Structure 1
Amino acid sequence: MLEQRHIAQTLDWLRGTDDIFRRVKPATPSPHLVSYVALIDPHARAIFLGRHRKASLWLPMGGHLEPGERPLDAARREAVEEIAIEPQFTVVGEEPLFLTVTTTRGPAAHVDISFWHVISGNSALEYALDPAEFDGGHWWDFDKSTLPDSDPHLARFLTKLGDALP
């Protein structure tokens, strides 16, 4: 039900503005669009999260959409920039699995409208993250009791993802 409310709010916002891309860091305008790229090992039921330097949270890779960029294109770009891989959208397809509306923390708090894309990974591999953005990464089981301090919607995302996997 909460996700349906977020979708309705997002659609209302999109119908009412063409100012959807961040122009001035960190928060102008608020809200603005973000694409997450969740690196998943579907067989191990694990997600790779990076320790984000600015947010001090364990997060999927991703970032703000550039002016004129579509969410899928931003997801592809962010995978190359932050994980140094060509993303494979073979887990649940190219469409985002999840949509969230989040007020960020900190002195420049703002609202991010985030599309959660899922890409395939292998938990037996180490992935080198962009050191300007992340202090390393770690594979986490979908088990919500072991998740680190992260995006407030991560547990719901993993539930939805787990339901979508065979």
Structure 2
Amino acid sequence: MTLQENATLVLKAYEDQPELREQYLDHLAAHDDGMWKACEAGHLTASALVIDPTRGKVLLTLHKKLNMWLQMGGHCEPGDVSLEAAALREGAEESGIEGLTLLDGGPVRLDRHPIPGPCHWHLDVQYAALAPAGAVEAISDESLDLKWFAYEEVASVADDSVVRLLERTRARLK
């Protein structure tokens, strides 16, 4: 199964955000390269919000290019066998934490946002990743900083997309 086929199956099974989900599926149907950075019409990305529910904290990265506190995530790579694998890879690479596990139930939410050219859109498939007990983070080349934030602090440092991702993650944890 190709990564694009996997993404199509994941999105078809995702029951929330029906209008946005259909936009993602239409994009994949129209673009054979819709998973890859080279697709100028836009491409899917995979991200993971790293959380530690026992401490009530979330790990965010101060993104080097955007200078914003965001969840871990980025472009799919040829070696990724699934969206889940891409999200876990990105989470581990950008957080420095090994042993992350995705929260059950598939993607937590979708977020479509414009980016500077030549590509026009990121169609982000967002997951939540649980940090193992005693996890220690390590800053990657893509980050200016990493910091654990209490759930209630996130709205004061991050944009609405991250806040909504955290809200949906917390609702799924209950």
TM-score, reference length from structure 1:
0.80
Whether the 8 Å contact between 1:44 and 1:123 is mirrored in structure 2 is no
Q: 1:64: which partner in 2?
A: 75
User: What CA distance in whole angstroms lies between the structure 2 residues aligned with 1:5 and 1:14?
Assistant: 15
Listed one character per residue, the Cα deviations across residues 22-70 of structure 1 (whole Å, up to 9, x for unaligned) are: 344xxx4231011112110112322100101101111111110124732
Whether the 8 Å contact between 1:37 and 1:61 is mirrored in structure 2 is yes
TM-score, reference length from structure 2:
0.76
Q: Unaligned 5+ residue runs, structure 2?
A: 1-15
Whether the 8 Å contact between 2:37 and 2:119 is mirrored in structure 1 is no
Decide which of 147, 153, 172 is 1:138's aligned counterpart. 147
Whether the 8 Å contact between 1:14 and 1:20 is mirrored in structure 2 is yes
Judged with a 3 Å threshold, the aligned counterparts in structure 2 of structure 1 residues 11 and 146 are, in CA distance, closer, same or farther, namely closer
Q: 1:20: which partner in 2?
A: 34
Judged with a 3 Å threshold, the aligned counterparts in structure 2 of structure 1 residues 12 and 107 are, in CA distance, closer, same or farther, namely closer
CA-atom RMSD, angstroms?
Answer: 2.6
User: What CA distance in whole angstroms lies between the structure 1 residues aligned with 2:118 and 2:47?
Assistant: 20
Judged with a 3 Å threshold, the aligned counterparts in structure 2 of structure 1 residues 146 and 98 are, in CA distance, closer, same or farther, namely closer
Judged with a 3 Å threshold, the aligned counterparts in structure 2 of structure 1 residues 109 and 160 are, in CA distance, closer, same or farther, namely same
Q: 2:95: which partner in 1?
A: 83
Judged with a 3 Å threshold, the aligned counterparts in structure 2 of structure 1 residues 145 and 126 are, in CA distance, closer, same or farther, namely closer
